[in-house]
Amino acid sequence: MIPMPHKIELLRMGEPDIWGESTIEETVQLNGNIRSRTQVVTNSYGEEVISNYRVLFHKFVDVKTKDKIRFTEPNGEVIESEPIQVKFMRDLDGSVAFTKAVL
């Protein structure tokens, strides 16, 4: 089993306000596994972008690319970013074993 030692906040973004800025609709506290890794990935628009983190959640977590993920690095720096990709890793029976978000 993969350990999930990191405290992560999932900020569900709501509809844009009158200035076009998305508002936080809900904050969900989760445990996950964060890995730092710089890599070129393809986003949902087919563009190549640089990712710096991979966040793994146990089971199904409803993460969307418009949401934000926030966590604190060991040096105290707070990282808040929108997922570039969200993938569901399935078990042999077809159920979602892990949710992976690439930031």
Residue ranges covered by each domain of the chain: 6-102
Residue 96: how many CA atoms within 13 Å on its side-chain side? 13
pLDDT, position 92:
94
Q: Divide the 103 residues of the chain into consecutive groups of 10 and give the mean pLDDT of each group.
A: 91 83 88 93 88 95 93 94 94 94 95
Query: How remote is the C-alpha of 33 from its chain's centroid?
Result: 11
Q: Which CATH number fits domain 6-102: 3.30.450, 2.40.10, 1.20.58, 3.40.190?
A: 2.40.10
- Enter the DSSP assignment of 4: -
Strand partners, 88: 99
